[in-house]
């Protein structure tokens, strides 16, 4: 494939990252898969290879900047360059603030904000050396509006939006920047909710999700544009989501 890219995906073991890996690999891109559940990554890479695609896997914890740097540097060593990093890894243990689940707040900040920054720090020098590259941030509808139980999660997604927009404004035009904001999407994200009342409310709220592949298709559209076309913002949600 003439425009085959080397695409790094954080959080590729389930949900949106998993679907994006399958779609992009199916289009002839080489995908580099990162997450903590390496058994899932191995199974995904095997499925991709069985279908004629190519993939590498790495154990990745985005909260550790050294591990993220190794994830990126290893891909550059192996392939000579990287073209796209999709900073997708995220957690969403929603709860009301008066639940005082401070460990979960900190984990959300560590993964959703620091993890994103670590991905940017690791990939930016390579993109600058190469004079090209593409950052894709998976934010959320929660980057645009706040809902009860989502104060911390939405704060991290507002931050992801702001960081990504700041990046766009600072960069040379050879490097493109896209923020993708999903609405309710089929994935494992709600499994991390520990607060029983919130679990109940979110189960009802998430009753009619769209497929993770709907987000993968949007990412594919953004990275498939010609080099002078920068798709900056996409919001994709169920047609019935209000
Ligand atoms: N699904 C939705 O409705 C929705 C809506 C808006 C935005 N989003 C965003 O979409 C992104 C993907 O989430 P998803 O919905 O696909 O949920 P998911 O199925 O729970 O996937 C989350 C992914 O993030 C990875 N991850 C979590 N902590 C990590 C860490 N410390 N280091 C590396 N990877 C980590 C998980 O892998 P391991 O556990 O194996 O590490 C998993 O692959 C997130 O940023 C989320 O905020 C989702």
Task: Tell me what percent of the residues of the chain surpass a pLDDT of 90.
Answer: 98
Model confidence at 3, in pLDDT bands (50, 70, 90)? confident
pLDDT at residue 101, rounded to an integer? 97
Testing ligand 1's pocket by substitution, the residue of 16, 44, 178, 191 carrying the most ligand atoms inside 8 A of its CB is 16
- How far from each other are the two terminal CA atoms of the chain, in whole angstroms? 40
CATH number among 3.40.50.300, 3.40.50.720, 3.30.450.40, 3.90.1150.10, domain 6-229:
3.40.50.720
Note if the pTM is more than 0.75: yes
C-alpha distance from residue 140 to each of 26, 206, 223 (Å): 25, 14, 19
Segment 25-45 mean pLDDT: 98
Element (H, E) at 84: strand 84-87
Tell me the pLDDT tens digit for each residue of 218-241. Answer: 999 999 999 999 999 999 999 999
Asked if residue 156 lies in contact with residue 109, where contact means CB atoms within 8 angstroms, the answer is yes
Task: Tell me what percent of the residues of the chain surpass a pLDDT of 70.
Answer: 99
Testing ligand 1's pocket by substitution, the residue of 12, 35, 154, 190 carrying the most ligand atoms inside 8 A of its CB is 35
Annotated active-site residue 221? The verdict is no
Q: Which atom of ligand 1 is nearest to the CA of 209?
A: 3
pLDDT at residue 2 is higher than 90: no
What residues line ligand 1, using a CB cutoff of 6 Å?
10-17, 35-37, 60-63, 88-92, 111, 138, 140, 182, 184-185, 187-189
Residue 192 CB neighbour total at 10 angstroms? 13
Tell me the pLDDT tens digit for each residue of 68-112. Answer: 999 999 999 999 999 999 999 999 999 999 999 999 999 999 999
Given 135, 153, 158, 161, which residue is catalytic? Answer: 153
Q: Which segment of 58-62, 73-77, 115-119, 238-242 scores lowest on mean pLDDT?
A: 238-242
pLDDT at residue 1 is higher than 70: no
Asked if residue 145 lies in contact with residue 95, where contact means CB atoms within 8 angstroms, the answer is no
Q: Which of 47, 20, 70, 26 is nearest to 211 (CA)?
A: 20
Element (H, E) at 43: helix 38-50
DSSP assignment letter at 237: -
pLDDT averaged over the chain?
Answer: 97
Higher per-residue confidence, 2 vs 134: 134
Tell me the pLDDT tens digit for each residue of 171-194. Answer: 999 999 999 999 999 999 999 999
Tell me the pLDDT tens digit for each residue of 190-221. Answer: 999 999 999 999 988 999 999 999 999 999 99
């Amino acid at each position: 494939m003439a425009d085959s890219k080397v695409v790094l995906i954080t959080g590729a073991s389930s949900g949106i990252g998993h679907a994006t890996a399958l779609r992009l690999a199916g289009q002839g891109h080489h995908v580099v898969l990162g997450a903590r559940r390496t058994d899932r990554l191995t199974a995904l890479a095997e499925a991709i290879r069985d279908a004629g695609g190519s993939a590498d896997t790495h154990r990745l914890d985005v909260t550790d900047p050294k591990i993220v740097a190794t994830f990126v540097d290893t891909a550059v060593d192996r392939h000579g360059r990287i073209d796209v990093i999709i900073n997708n890894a995220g957690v969403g243990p929603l709860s009301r603030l008066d639940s005082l689940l401070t460990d979960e707040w900190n984990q959300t900040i560590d993964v959703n904000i620091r993890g994103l920054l670590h991905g940017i720090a690791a990939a930016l020098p390579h993109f600058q050396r190469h004079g090209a590259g593409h950052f894709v941030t998976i934010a959320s509808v929660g980057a645009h509006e706040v809902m009860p139980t989502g104060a911390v999660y939405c704060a991290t997604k507002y931050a992801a939006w702001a960081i990504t927009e700041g990046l766009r404004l600072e960069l040379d035009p050879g490097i493109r920047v896209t923020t993708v904001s999903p609405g309710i999407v089929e994935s494992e994200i709600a499994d991390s909710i520990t607060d029983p009342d919130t679990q109940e409310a979110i189960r009802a709220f998430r009753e009619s999700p769209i497929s993770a592949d709907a987000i993968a298709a949007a990412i594919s559209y953004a990275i498939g544009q010609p080099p002078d076309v920068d798709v900056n913002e996409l919001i994709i949600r169920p047609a019935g989501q209000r």
